Chain A
Amino acid sequence: MTTKKWELKDIIMMAILGVVFSAIYLVIFDGGVVLSTVLAPTGLSNFAFEIIYGVWFMAATLAAYIIRKPGVALVTEVLASVVELLMGNSGGVTVVLTGLIQGAGAELAFALFRYKKWDLASMSLASVFSATFIFCYELYYLNYIALDPSLLIAQLAVRFVSAIVFSGVICKLAGDGLAKTGVVKSYAIGAKAKTGKVYDEED
């Protein structure tokens, strides 16, 4: 458990989480579009996506929380974005780039804690960093720079809250829930968790 080297099962775990989350991302994207359409005439449709923006950082923090090895957050987020591209997302080819930027934000936060602290604080910091990183990129990419600065600050604030709720709190709960079921026993998160008897599918 002390090894920092990635094993094949870690890699496949990251890839599968990437697949599951990119499916969620696509569903959420459509939900966001519906919400933003409702808000369109007020000019506030950007907020529809800000409210749910945290969902896009979930893969990184959850995978890092489970596997707890350096680089996991970054790579999982990139993998999720590659799978999103494979599934035909509408954000275009740069989705891989956004994955890289968001993942780098989360990774930086975990690195600041030297990959030793795995709790709500480090996960929330990872989410906030992801949100900040991607916002800087969007200033240019989505030309947000041509929008009113006070609107942008409001957007960023909503995004922070969303990031902490979704990829901080919800991911933490999901990770702990998984640890309790005992399936993640062979990963760092499950090593210390108290579990009941684990029943296999075939039992």
Chain B
Amino acid sequence: MRTLNPAMKFVTLLCVTFVLAFRYNPVLNLAVFALCMAALLISRVKPKTLGLLMLPILLAAVGMFFTGYRFSADASMPVAAADFLVSNSQVWNGVAQASRVLAYAGVGFLFTLTTDRILMVKSFEKQFHLPQVWAYGLLAAWGVFPQAVQEYKRTRAAFRARGLSVFPVSPALMKPLLVKSVRWSEELAIAMESKGFSGEEKRTEYMEVRVHARDWLFLIFCVALVCVFSI
């Protein structure tokens, strides 16, 4: 999974998610979820990381189960419910709603946990023809992130040192962060422009992100797989 082209992987998984969105089949959802988990473990994602990330998802799935269980659409729906509902059982409806959450999350983690971030932006730039300003602007902003976290912690510490207790996402903490964000964006823009960045010149790259045959194979294989199983 790690060696696949990020843009192609993105398209593939997007297709898979779409097929799932128009199916109402808990078995398919659970199968996709299981496959994603297997693929993640094969790609050497630590089981502990995965488990921690799955915790909120499992809770959300439980919530969706009860929603589906309690509030099933009845025959008065404008869209023929029979097309969507395989059986009228409420439990089935609940399981379908919950398994959907799991399948989407599985596919999502398969992408994020096996994709290098910088490579992803570079690949989007190359394969999706994202303009240079966006690609580098995004990378620059991404680089600011650790500083933003630092700034947040510093402000929080400052409040604590003065004996004031503030809510984690309170405006008092957000305001300095926003002010800093504006300053950073100006400074970064000036820094980039003063070093000759204009976003229009052709440039050479130290590392070219290419699409290989295996990326196409992966796309065809995955889409075919979900299509076959969803019939």
Contacts and interface: CB of A to CB of B under 8 A. Distances in A.
A83 B139 CA distance: 10
Given A17-B181, A20-B181, A82 B138 contact: yes
A90 B73 contact: no
Interface in B30-80: 53, 56-57, 59-60, 62-74, 76-77, 79
Given A7-B189, A88-B113, A148-B74, A178 B179 contact: yes
Contacts of B14: 93-94, 97
Interface in B71-98: 71-74, 76-77, 79, 81, 84-85, 93, 96-97
B144 A92 contact: no
A9 interface: yes
B185 A9 contact: yes
Interface stretch (A37-45, A102-110, A116-124, A127-135): A37-45
Interface residues of B, number: 78
B21 A141 contact: yes
Given A8-B189, A9-B189, A36-B63, A92 B17 contact: yes
Nearest to A181: B179
B62 A37 contact: yes
Nearest to A145: B79
Contact of B117 (A16, A41, A86, A89): A86
B148 interface: yes
B97 to A, nearest CB: 6
A86 to B, nearest CB: 5
Contact of B188 (A12, A39, A43, A187): A12
Secondary structure dominating the interface of B: helix
Contacts of A16: 141, 144, 148, 181, 184-185, 188
A27 B156 CA distance: 16
A143 B24 contact: yes
B142 A93 contact: no
A63 to B, nearest CB: 11
B96 A12 contact: no
B141 A18 contact: yes
Contacts of B60: 33, 36, 45
A147 interface: yes
**Residue picked from B97, B137, B193, most chain A C-beta under 10 Å:** B137
A56 to B, nearest CB: 14
B65 to A, nearest CB: 8
**Residue picked from B67, B96, B97, B105, most chain A C-beta under 10 Å:** B67
A43 B66 contact: yes
B182 interface: yes
Given A9-B185, A12-B189, A82-B138, A45 B144 contact: no
A24 B149 CA distance: 11
A24 B193 contact: no
B93 to A, nearest CB: 6
A33 B59 contact: yes
A143 B192 contact: no
B169 interface: yes
B69 to A, nearest CB: 6
Interface in A1-23: 7-9, 11-20, 23
Contacts of A40: 59, 62-63, 65-66
A80 B24 CA distance: 30
Interface stretch (B170-178, B205-213, B215-223): B170-178
B169 A24 contact: yes
Nearest to B63: A45
A12 B182 CA distance: 9
Interface string A189-203: 000000000000100
Contact of A12 (B56, B70, B140, B148): B140
Nearest to B66: A43
11 contacts: A11-B137, A13-B185, A13-B186, A15-B141, A15-B185, A17-B181, A20-B148, A36-B60, A40-B59, A93-B10, A147-B67
CB-based closest 3 A-B pairs: A92-B108, A43-B70, A45-B63
